[in-house]
Structures are given as structure tokens and as C-alpha cells.
Amino acid sequence: MYKTNFSIGHSMKEILDAHVRPGGRLGRGHKGLYDTVNNSLHFQLGLALAALGVITSLVAQQMYSLPTYAFLAQDYTTQAALYTHHQYIAGFIMAGAFAHGAFFFIRDYDPKQNKDNVLARMLEHKEAIMSHLSWASLFLGFHTLGLYVHNDVMLAFGTPEKQILIDPVFAQWIQSAHGKTLYGFDVLLSSADSTASNASQSLWLPGWLDAVNNNSNSLFLTIGPGDFLVHHAIALGLHTTTLILVKGALDVRGSKLMRDKKEFGYSFPCDGPGRGRTCDISAWDVFYLAVFWMLNTIGWVTFYWHWKHITLWQGNAAQFNESSTYLMG
């Protein structure tokens, strides 16, 4: 597919230009995209930062759950420090990816070169993109906070048995398929009679089932209703941060309030009451606001990680399960 040193295959430009959806639903598809990316350092940097941000967050998770260094598995302080370190770095890098995406749209984007391709159509559909993200953020926010508030009230009234507790059954099923027997699913490696389970001890990875079912390590965290709630709260933070950054980048060339926004650059002050009081609507202001949401979200992530692992390292997963379904202690 890709051209090699021996001139076999196609160049990336040829592949992108030919990538047009049948029926024309995506217009001219990826035509013009190769030159657009090639001629914009901001576009290239934005793509690189987005990839690096995802990888950095993945490193944060992998370093404690599957430690490559033998003694890291026993050094809990270092685990906590490395996880926090990498998640904060990932947050700043991802925010930077959107900032340089906005730089691209305001400085390097050429409407003629990208006429009716995927970039142009994304700008045309920006209201739909932002409204979907907004809906997801509102859904997550109201439902997650609603469950927390309900559970808080039930505890305050002395009736903890009336809490609404939702088990993450799909995640539990996946863990069970990999050998976690705690949840009662009789599937694949958690089934003593399955071929894979019988073969596991002799043919591949001896000790895997013992490790997965040991509650004092971070290999497969025991998960319950508290984890279900926290993950949706984190999803709320991620989606809201993304909503703000996406809106800032897609509106940087112009919005309904300010049609000629691109003429003012990435950052500009209030433009007076003649514009409908356009304070704090520059892409710079949007980025500034999104950074606080990013920091807020990573605060939730690291706080959750910390308390989850303290109970795991003590071999007392039930302590977290009992006290993680409400907010007010």
C-alpha cells in the first residue's frame, strides 16, 4: 500500500486523494489534506501532541498495572508519583494539541485548497458536533451527580440500603473472561471447566489466575458501583474539557456572534457592546478555561486512584466499595 524505498506502492498523497467515499456523502473526502498537513507546522504539532497525550496517559496506567521493573510493583509511593506525574503531563499535552489545532485554523487553513473536503465539512457541521458533545456532558453530569446526591441523602437519613448502586457488569464480564472469579460469571478463564482454563496452568503463563484473583495487586482491580460512578464522573470531566476545546478551535475562524473573528487573531480583548459584548470569546480565553477543567478532571482521577489503591494495598477492597458510592463522608 505505502511506497517503499523500492518505489513499490502508492505515496501518501495518492492514497489520501483517492480516499473519497462512494456516493459523495463526505464531499471530496481527503483531497487537499496532504498538502494542508505538509504546509502547516501547527497541524503537524497538533496531531503529534494528540498522539503523545494519549500515549502518556496510557503509560500512566500501564506503569502500575503491568510494571516492567520488578521492584516497582512493591514501591507504592513511586507508583503513585509516576501515575500522577504522567496523567498531569498527558492533560497539558492534550490541551496543547487543541490549542495548535486552533492556531492552524486561524493561521494556516486555506478554504480554497480544502473546498468541500473533510476539514471544510467538519467546520460546516460544527454546531452538530458541539451540540452532541454538549448533550453527552449534560447527560453525564446530571445522571452522575444525581446518583451521588441521592446516595448522600440516603446515608444522611440513615438508610444506606436505599442507595442506587449500579454494577459495571460489562467490565466485570470482561475481567471474568480473563480469569477473575469474584463476580460469579462462568465464562472462559473464570470457568474451571473451560479448555482455556485447564490449559492456562500448564501451557501458557503459569500463575496468571492466582495473580488476577489476588486482591492486593493492581493487575485487575476489583470493581463495583463506586468505580462505575467515578468513571462516569471522570467521563463528565473529559467530555466537558473536550467540548470547550473543540468549540474554541472550531469557532476560531468565526461564530454567529462574531463573523469576522479570524481577523482578530487567536487572542483579543473585549470588543465592546457594538458586538453584543464580546468579552472572553477569543480562542485564548476558551483554552484558558479548558485548562482549569482539565486540571479539575485530573484532580478527580488522581484522588480516585489514590484511595482505590490504598484500600487495595491494605488488602481491604470492601472498604472502598462501602464508602465510594456517595460524596459527603
Provide the pLDDT for residue 301. Answer: 96
44 lies in the same domain as 110: yes
Provide the pLDDT for residue 241. Answer: 96
In a domain, 137, yes or no: yes
What is the grid cell recorded at 138? 449534560
Cα Rg of the chain, angstroms: 25
161 lies in the same domain as 197: no
pLDDT in tens, 194-208: 777 777 666 666 777
Question: Residue 45 — very low, low, confident or very high, per pLDDT cuts 50/70/90?
Answer: very high
Q: What's the chain's average pLDDT? A: 87
157 lies in the same domain as 177: no
140 lies in the same domain as 256: yes
Provide the pLDDT for residue 116. Answer: 84
pLDDT in tens, 232-266: 999 999 999 999 999 999 988 888 878 787 778 88
149 lies in the same domain as 195: no
181 lies in the same domain as 324: no
Measure CA of the first residue to CA of the last residue in the chain; give whole Å.
58
134 lies in the same domain as 283: yes
77 lies in the same domain as 110: yes
Region 291-303: mean pLDDT is 96
Select from 190, 212, 234 the last residue of a domain: 212
Euclidean distance between CA atoms 174 and 171, whole angstroms: 5
Phi then psi for residue 158, to 5 deg, are 75, 25
249 lies in the same domain as 324: yes
Q: Is residue 277 predicted with pLDDT exceeding 70?
A: no
What is the 3-state composition of the chain as percent helix, strand, coil, each rounded to the nearest 5?
Answer: 65, 0, 35
Question: Residue 94 — very low, low, confident or very high, per pLDDT cuts 50/70/90?
Answer: very high
Residue-range definition of the domain harbouring residue 197? 171-212
Q: What share of the chain in percent tops pLDDT 70? A: 94
The pTM of this model reads: 0.88
Overall number of domains in the chain: 3
288 lies in the same domain as 309: yes
What is the grid cell recorded at 113? 485548497
227 lies in the same domain as 89: no
Mention every residue, 6+ apart, whose C-beta is less than 8 A from residue 97.
Answer: 46, 47, 49, 50, 53
Provide the pLDDT for residue 12. Answer: 79
In a domain, 217, yes or no: no
Provide the pLDDT for residue 99. Answer: 94
In a domain, 257, yes or no: yes
